[in-house]
């Protein structure tokens, strides 16, 4: 799992390498194409499949753009994919001219542009939200327990007495199952 998928134009690789060092220095894990040796060997369809797979392993896409980004075949595709797959993307303008070039690409106005002064704090906040939204094993166990609680009663839910009994006891059973799933990791085996 990576914190960040870094999308950049190949002409900006030197800038992207500097950005990766900065992001990793802040403690973030970064997926970037030039660290994935297998990418250069793949035909377009397999390359696209690999990028989809890698993007699904990330919490946020950072769209690092410059004037060169306008000519990129992959960057708009990666941004659209991130919008649909992970729902979190931000812009990282490499230059002031990039911000002016942004005006020509209307779709970029949908996303927040980070400023160098606040980028680390904002990325921390966005990634914190992403981590909180992820389904954790304890939550998954609680959902499975809820399914077990409701499965036994599902055919009878139409009857008022069963619905009343579930509303009275079901939430407590769910809470206890959730609490048990949280504390089970600390119990001696």
Return per-residue pLDDT of the chain as tens, 189 residues: 899 999 999 999 999 999 999 999 999 999 999 999 888 888 888 888 989 999 999 999 999 999 888 888 889 999 999 988 888 999 999 988 887 777 667 788 889 999 888 999 999 999 998 888 775 544 555 555 555 655 554 444 444 454 455 555 555 565 566 556 555 555 555
Helices 75-85 + 44-56 axis angle, to 10: 40
What does the alpha-carbon distance between residue 137 and residue 27 come to, in Å, rounded to a whole number? 24
* 89 vs 110: CA distance, rounded Å: 10
Classify domain 2-133 by CATH architecture: 3-Layer(aba) Sandwich (3.40)
Q: Which segments of the chain belong to CATH 3.40.50.10140?
A: 2-133
């Amino acid at each position: 799992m990576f914190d960040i998928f870094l999308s950049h134009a190949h002409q900006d690789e030197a800038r992207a390498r500097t950005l990766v060092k900065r992001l990793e220095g802040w403690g973030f894990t970064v997926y970037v194409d030039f660290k994935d040796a297998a990418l250069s060997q793949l035909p377009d369809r397999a390359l696209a499949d690999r990028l989809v797979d890698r993007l699904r392993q990330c919490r946020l896409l950072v769209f690092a753009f410059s004037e060169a980004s306008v000519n990129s075949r992959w960057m708009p595709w990666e941004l659209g994919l991130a919008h649909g797959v992970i729902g979190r993307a931000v812009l990282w303008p490499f230059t002031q001219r990039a911000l002016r070039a942004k005006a020509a690409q209307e779709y970029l106005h949908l996303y927040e542009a980070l400023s160098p002064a606040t980028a680390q704090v904002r990325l921390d906040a966005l990634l914190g939200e992403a981590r909180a939204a992820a389904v954790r094993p304890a939550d998954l166990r609680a959902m499975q327990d809820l399914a077990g609680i409701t499965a036994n009663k599902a055919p009878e839910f139409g009857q008022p007495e069963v619905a009343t009994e579930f509303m009275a006891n079901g939430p407590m059973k769910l809470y206890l199952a959730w609490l048990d799933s949280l504390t089970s990791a600390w119990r001696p085996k």
